[in-house]
Structure 1
Amino acid sequence: MKNKFVWFSGVLTLLITELTLSSCHAPVDTPPAPVSMLSDTSDVMADYGESRVKRLAEKLRNSRRETTHILVMGDSHTAADFLSGQLRTMLQARYGNGGPGFVSPVKVPGNRYSHVNYTQASGWRLETSRRAQDAAFTLGGMIATPTTPDNVSRITVTDGETALRAQALYRSAGNATLRVGGNAVSLVETHGGWALSPAVPVAPSFSVSLKGSGTQLAGFWLTASPSRGVIVSALGINGAQISMPDKWPADWPGTLKRLSPDLVVLAYGTNEAFNASLVPDIYRQDLLLQIRKIRLAVPEAAILLIGPGSSIQHKDATGCRQRQSPVLKRVIEIQKQAAREEHTLFWDWFAFMGGDCAIEQWAVQGKARPDLVHLQAAGYREVADGLWKGLRPVLEP
């Protein structure tokens, strides 16, 4: 398109027909907006006409009296909550603490939150969509089912927020009672779907127990009281690819709508780059489909794609080209194409790190782990700082 220039320039198991994609495509409110150039970030952050950032920026300006929700969906980088956690810290320091956001119902092995701890858990069975198949999975891919009448878990929020409200994302085959801290919350039958329980006040550390057969939890929605500031929810699953939401058949877009994010961040790509059987056309179609599902569910939310960072697939190979995944840059280019087509934001993590095999130098500097895929905490902090520097001119023009 002649009037579009770069601001910060830039599985499905079967092939999906263009007709199917078209049926999932939410119309764009306005044509792609003209963009301006910042030379120091021109190869890292790009706005391909994401008109919804104006609403996002306005909400942030009013953060003292309303909440802005940023929801990050991703792979192991998000599951560790280092990158998203540092972004949360910076945004909350600037705009106020809106609370922990959407978190898993019990502790998930291999996952962490920078601001929430789980202790004293007993009498629960946890399923995650990382490996399991369950028609009940919804957004986040977690299901906690009580296995004993005396089940209990304790959730402790460590971000300093003292006045909180809690709601459970649950489904129930009949009436049940959820005890959250000192509150007894009545849960009604949901007829197979997922619903949010009534909000109740909780202390920063509170216990959870559930009474009632056929009742399960998929997460907790924890917010500050009164509503204000910024929430950054981290929904990460180790090993996840953009196709992961296909394993959440129980109306994950409907759950997303209930959480009402103002910005949805899709931080996938690392595992696609390590997928030897990746079919680029199928990957592109699946990426477009997930973006369009998000647009339909939360049409007022802005969308940001974060490309994969630098990584090494074959450590013993001789040259950089041989050590790096042969499809890594192809994955990044497909993401950029999707961002252009769907008019989203795109942040090039790979370019920010320095391009081909840059993670090797990051490891020498103590900022990357020996696996040459993940970063040390200091490395994630640097990446989060770079992401904020790219976002700030968009959100504070």
Structure 2
Amino acid sequence: MRSHKIILFFVFCAMQVRAQTEISNGQKTYDFINYAANNLHMPDDAKMPSFYTKLAHLVAIGDKQINIVHIGDSHIQADFFSNRMRSLFQNYFIGGNGGRGFVFPYTIARTNNPSNYKVKYTGSWQACRNIEINKTCTLGLAGMIVTTSDSEASFKLSSATFDNIIYDYTRIRIFYNSEEDSHNIELENIGTVQVEEVNESPSVKEWILSGATNEVDIRIKRLVPGNTIFTLYGIALETEDPGIIYHAVGVNGAQVTSFLRCELFEEQLQKLDPDLIIISLGTNDAYGNPFDENVFKANYLTLLNRIKKANPGAPILLTTPGDCYKSKVPNKNNLKARETIYELANEQQCNVWDFFTVMGGLGSMQTWKNNGLAAADRVHHTKAGYELQGNLMFDALIKGFENYIGARGQR
């Protein structure tokens, strides 16, 4: 009991420092944002306290890592929204940076790559995405793969510093498949760091580095004649330090059914050992015509069941799709998707962050556009809009955390 109170005391002190910092920074507020609604909907047995307990321990004691996995569509692939969340969590307390997390080299797939890491590559690569229903390929957590049959190919990832966070790493995991085990995977920056190679499983290769680096330079060599295929599913860039790792995976145009096509989704999600799973899907589902909320609900339930089976102890946070326009008018299907997500959350003990209501409700996307927060298509946001979305969701999560700490402290 005494150690419990000590932890709560240190957490309370950390929250006071954060509150003072926020006041001094003076975040801009908008009269069209529904700040009163900016809370988490947490049904009984939604498991969110398990995440908050781990966060309290990390803030107070400063050991162990917390893994958050954020899954979504184009709003996540660009990583403006999710990167804002990552930055806020990792700056929430001193020593909060646990690493960059799971990344995919979107540049190799010839699509937009997050700006906080750069990708260079050699060789001929082909891409397959979970939105391409006419293609046959085995997909994983990222919802996208790149493959090569070249005798030799390579790729290099370089991390940038964002919001005063330096993303270097001492642990590298590559998720892959080598047809007939016919490829050798080499970490080329051995000259600057000593490495210990660990084969976690036939589909994951891991290196533990003795020194930190902000670059990964990997070369793939085919060991046998022929056209055997090497498949890359993604890379996890982590450290051994305590802190928060915020993994984000998104595919432009993805619907819930898109991730149901990912055969290795559960296996690879499980390897990230998530403490919280956030799902931001529904915009593209609701954009279809006609939109059948019963089909949407059934597909979403299937995805939730797959996630729960792989990670039974992890709380799940569902975000409602924000308002958007279709054919020059607000898309009322997003309101139906919102209602369906609430139904699922109550039935499946999931948490909800209601972005649709918080941003202002039906038709609010035009107001966001008028304030430089939404793109011309009134479906996507500007960088400033995504950062505002990140600020809002983080505040809702931390409000829930502070309420949890307050309730525990009164016991």
Task: Classify the TM-score, shorter chain.
Answer: 0.7 to 0.9
**1:184-241 Cα shifts (integer Å, max 9, x gaps):** 9687994xxxx221333262012111123443221111101x2321111111111111
**8 A contact 1:44–1:349 mirrored in 2:** no
Matches within 5 A, 1:304-319: 304-315=317-328
Partner of 1:60: 55
Contact 1:263 1:303 in 2 (8 A): yes
Question: Gapped runs of 5+ residues in structure 1?
Answer: 1-38, 316-322
Q: Given the two structures, how large is their TM-score scaled by the length of structure 1? A: 0.81
- Correspondence for 1:157: 159
Tell me the residue number matched to 1:355: 361
Decide which of 76, 97, 111 is 2:74's aligned counterpart.
76
Corresponding residue for residue 47 of structure 1: 42
Shift, 1:156, TM fit: 0.6
Distance (whole Å) between structure 1 residues aligned to residue 201 and residue 214 of structure 2:
29
Is the partner of 2:332 in helix, strand or coil? coil
Which residues in structure 2 correspond to 1:204-215 (within 5 Å)?
Answer: 204-212=214-222, 213-215=228-230
Contact 2:318/2:345 (<8 A) preserved: yes
Matches of 1:113 and 1:371, distance apart in 2: 20
Change (3 A) 1:258 1:189: closer
Separation in 2, partners of 1:349, 1:189: 39
Matched residue type, 2:250 = G
More helix per residue: 1 or 2?
A: 2
Q: TM-score when scaled to structure 2?
A: 0.79
Superimposed CA distance per residue, residues 10-40 of structure 1 (whole angstroms, 9 cap, x where no aligned partner)? xxxxxxxxxxxxxxxxxxxxxxxxxxxxx95
Comparing 103-112 with 295-304, greater Cα deviation is found at 103-112
Q: Does residue 232 of structure 2 align to residue 222 of structure 1?
A: no
Aligned twin of 1:376:
382
Change (3 A) 1:148 1:90: same
The C-alpha deviation readout for 1:351-371, integer Å capped at 9, x for no partner, is 111111101011111111110
Q: Residue 200 of structure 1 is aligned with which of 205, 208, 230?
A: 208
Following the alignment from structure 1 to structure 2, what is the Cα–Cα distance between the partners of residues 198 and 376? 36
- Of 244, 256, 261 in structure 1, the residue corresponding to residue 258 of structure 2 is 244
The CA distance in 2 between the partners of 1:131 and 1:395, in whole Å, is 39
Quote how far apart the aligned CAs of 1:135 are: 4.0
Pairwise CA distance, 1:50: 4.6
Q: Distance in 1 between matches of 2:54 and 2:40?
A: 21
Tell me how far apart the structure 2 counterparts of residues 167 and 350 of structure 1 sit (CA, whole Å): 36
SS of the residue aligned with 2:236?
strand
| Contact 1:72–1:266 (CA under 8 A) maintained in structure 2 | yes
Alpha carbons of structure 1 residues 382 and 188: separation in structure 2 relative to 1, 3 Å: closer
Tell whether the 8 Å contact from 1:139 to 1:256 is kept in structure 2 after alignment.
Answer: yes
Amino acid in structure 1 at the alignment position of 2:387? R
Q: Is the 8 A contact 1:174 1:188 kept in 2?
A: no
- Residues 344, 181 of structure 1: alpha-carbon distance in 2 compared, 3 angstrom cutoff: same
Asked if 2 retains the 8 angstrom alpha-carbon contact of 1:177 and 1:187, the reply is no
Q: Secondary structure at the residue paired with 2:114?
A: coil
CA contact 2:200–2:206 (8 Å) conserved in 1: no
Task: Identify the match of residue 339 of structure 2 among 333, 341, 344.
Answer: 333
The C-alpha deviation readout for 1:283-319, integer Å capped at 9, x for no partner, is 111111111211111011110001111111121xxxx
Q: RMSD of the TM alignment (CA)? A: 2.2
Aligned residue for 1:350, secondary structure, equals helix
1:86-101 aligned at under 5 Å gives the runs 86-95=84-93, 96-101=96-101
Number of the residue aligned with 2:188: 181
Which of 115, 138, 141 is matched with 2:140 structurally?
A: 138
* Mapped pair 1:128 → 2:113: no
Give the number of equivalent residue pairs: 346
On the 8 A contact 1:76/1:239 being kept in 2, the answer is yes
Question: Amino acid of the residue matched to residue 155 of structure 1?
Answer: L
CA separation of 1:163 and 1:79: change in aligned 2, threshold 3 A: closer
Query: In structure 1, how many angstroms separate the alpha carbons of the residues matched to 2:198 and 2:148?
Result: 16
% same residue: 24
Deviation of the 1:62 alpha carbon: 3.3
Amino acid at match of 1:103: V
The AA in structure 2 aligned to 1:178 is I
CA contact (8 A) 1:82 1:380 kept: yes
Deviations 1:50-92 (A, max 9, x none): 5422221222233332111111111110111111110011001
User: Counterpart of 1:255?
Assistant: 268
Letter in 1 for 2:389: V
Q: What is the CA-CA distance between 1:273 and the residue it aligns to?
A: 1.7
Q: Partner amino acid for 1:219?
A: G
In 2, are the aligned partners of 1:50 and 1:302 still within 8 Å (CA)? no
Counterpart in 2 of 1:280? 293
Residues 339, 346 of structure 1: 8 Å contact kept: yes
Distance of 2:68 and 2:398 partners within structure 1: 14
CA contact (8 A) 1:150 1:209 kept: yes
Give structure 2 stretches of 5+ with no counterpart.
Answer: 1-33, 223-227, 405-411
**After alignment, is 341-350 or 108-117 more displaced?**
108-117
The aligned counterpart of 1:13 is none
User: What residue identity is the alignment partner of 1:77?
Assistant: H
